[in-house]
Structure 1
Amino acid sequence: MNEKTATNPRIKIYMAGFEVFRTDAAETGIRMKRLCDDYGFEGIFPLDKDIKPQPSKQETAKAIFEGNVRLVNKADVVIANLNPFRGAEPDSGTVFECGLAYGLGKKLYGFVSDRRTMAERLGPDTDPATGLYKDGMTVEDFGHPLNLMLSVPMTIVEGALEDALKRLSLDLRSSS
């Protein structure tokens, strides 16, 4: 694998996703970081920050936001869970982190459990006569599993975190 040299730290991966909302989020983060370690990477989980409750919810939210931005900045790569969260689309916080990482020039990987195109996935709720989704709007159809603003700059694999780690490892080996 094309890891950083011994004088530099291992490649750092920020794992964006809705796992932070799980009731066992801390334990899930530990498992995800161990999996990164198994592939020779250093995993960074969104809870890897020391955020103390602030005097108000708004101040606490701001501290969490600023902490996550610092963690994304620290990473070399972002791997995002882009599975649907509370609807047909990925978690909006995860999507923001992907955009931030793109703007910072980070490598982007994502994973989905269903890599069919958006048109295929949303087809059952799309009127075949008009092509309109049940909300009365058109469905983006560029042959991607997600909106083009995610699909174009990212390498998206079907599967889970481990599948994205395997793909990243393969890409790093083939680029050396």
Structure 2
Amino acid sequence: MKVYLAGPDVFLPEAAAMAAEKKRLCALHGLEGVFPTDPRPDPAADAAAEAWYAIYLRNEAHIRACDALVANLTPFRGPSADAGTVYELGFMRALGRPVLGYSNAAADFASRTRHFLGPEARRNEAGRWVDGEGLALEEFGLADNLMIDGGIRAAAGLLVRRDVPEAARWTDLAGFEACLQALARLRQGG
């Protein structure tokens, strides 16, 4: 089973080392990890004039070639998961394949959003949390936007939420391993 390893890990200073470690853990569970930066011959990508579009085409080709996806949904540059990762998760879900995710921040999305907004977050006259523009916040107790949690649940996937020390926010892989264990069981039919 080939597993696309989605997440903002590509932005880490040691992205290649993270890719190698995630692939090693996949192999321990009888899975083949595919990292977004892995080379993939793609005539359309190779012909693309702009580097960003070539990257997009290669990542989409990787996703199409994989059997499942595990997403690092740890909040990235704000209260929510990385937008590119969320796109990839939705793309794989639309293909009807297993999607799983983990976050190294256990607090729910509403709490993280209120913290991020600071004093701009307030309760309106109806008692709902809103931002500085009066726009309502999601308050479902979920890990992130309901479409992310819902997509994983609808795929019968797993979403692992755990708090880790801040220094290990991008390197702690216990949640990732829990997702791999679930995929290995799925691959074995149980």
Q: Identify whether the pair has TM-score above 0.5, normalized to the shorter chain.
A: yes
Q: Deviations over 1:71-113 (max 9, x none)?
A: 0001111100001111111111111111111111111100011
Contact preservation (8 Å) 1:118, 1:139: no
Residue in 1 that maps onto 2:167: none
Q: Helix, strand or coil: the match of 2:50?
A: helix
2:51 pairs, out of 41, 52, 60, with 60
Contact preservation (8 Å) 1:122, 1:133: no
Note the C-alpha offset of 1:172.
4.9
2:134 pairs, out of 130, 133, 136, with 136
Determine if the alignment matches structure 1 residue 151 to structure 2 residue 146: no
Contact preservation (8 Å) 2:10, 2:36: yes
Structure 2's unaligned 5+ residue stretches are 153-157, 163-174
**Aligned partners of 1:168, 1:64: CA distance in 2, in Å?**
27
Q: Helix, strand or coil: the match of 2:75?
A: coil
**Aligned partners of 1:12, 1:135: CA distance in 2, in Å?**
44
Determine if the alignment matches structure 1 residue 98 to structure 2 residue 98: no
TM (norm. structure 2) is: 0.75
Amino acid at match of 2:32: E
* Identical positions, percent: 32
Note the C-alpha offset of 1:18.
0.6
Residue in 2 that maps onto 1:4: none
Q: Deviations over 1:141-175 (max 9, x none)?
A: 223111111101213112431122123334555x5
Residue in 2 that maps onto 1:36: 26
Structure-to-structure mapping, 1:103-142, within 5 angstroms:
103-124=94-115, 125=118, 126-128=121-123, 130=127, 131-134=129-132, 136-142=134-140
**Aligned partners of 1:54, 1:172: CA distance in 2, in Å?**
33
Once the two structures are overlaid, the 10-residue window that deviates more, 162-171 or 14-23, is 162-171
Contact preservation (8 Å) 1:79, 1:110: yes
Q: Helix, strand or coil: the match of 1:168?
A: helix
Structure 1's unaligned 5+ residue stretches are 1-10
Give the CA RMSD over aligned residues: 2.5
Amino acid at match of 2:144: L
Aligned residue pairs: how many? 163
Q: Helix, strand or coil: the match of 1:109?
A: strand
